[in-house]
Amino acid sequence: MKDITIDSLDELTTVARQIIDSLDGRNVVAFCGAMGAGKTTLISAIMEELGSADTVTSPTFALVNQYYTSERKAVYHFDFYRINNISEAFDMGYEEYFYSGDLCLIEWPERVEALLPDDVMVVRIEILSPTERRFLIE
């Protein structure tokens, strides 16, 4: 487990790089944190580190956005905040994404916890102050 505390958004690239370097063959990353903790902002930093030119936005209503790395590898960004029950994840075909081998970055994974692969990487974000965040990377 890695424990990283940052004082400003300027340090977010360090966290993004640590997450990428810690994947160790895993492709599903679950981001846990309160509303406003910075989940989407961190995912944006990860995509920037992967060389993506795509604009990262929260897929709150679409449930999933697709981005591409500089190497043209697909990355899927999920936001399960608005699902009402786990059957909605089945209806969208979550298995095709989670088990595709492509990187899957998930906001609000608590809503689909039973569907997450055993080897999921969990990133917990704790708000320490308006500018400080603590990241636990498991």
- Per residue in 79-96, pLDDT (tens digit) is 999 999 999 999 999 999
> In angstroms, rounded to a whole number, what is the distance separating the alpha carbons of residues 74 and 108?
21
- With beta carbons less than 8 A apart as the criterion, state whether 137 and 1 touch: yes
Give the model's pLDDT for residue 62: 86
**Residue at token pair 């004082």:** 7
> In angstroms, rounded to a whole number, what is the distance separating the alpha carbons of residues 56 and 79?
12
Beta strands 64-68; 121-127: pairing state: unpaired
pLDDT tops 90 at residue 71: yes
Rounded average pLDDT over 43-69: 95
CA atoms within 13 A of residue 107's CA, in its CB half-sphere: 27
Domains defined along the chain, listed by start: 2-137 (3.40.50.300)
Q: What is the mean pLDDT of the chain?
A: 96
Rounded average pLDDT over 31-55: 97
Give the model's pLDDT for residue 112: 97
CA terminus-to-terminus distance, the chain: 5
SS3 state of residue 57: coil
**Residue at token pair 């993004």:** 16
pLDDT tops 90 at residue 5: yes
Give the model's pLDDT for residue 107: 97
Rounded average pLDDT over 88-109: 96
> In angstroms, rounded to a whole number, what is the distance separating the alpha carbons of residues 38 and 87?
27
Give the model's pLDDT for residue 60: 82
Report the predicted TM-score, pTM, of the whole model to 2 decimal places.
0.96
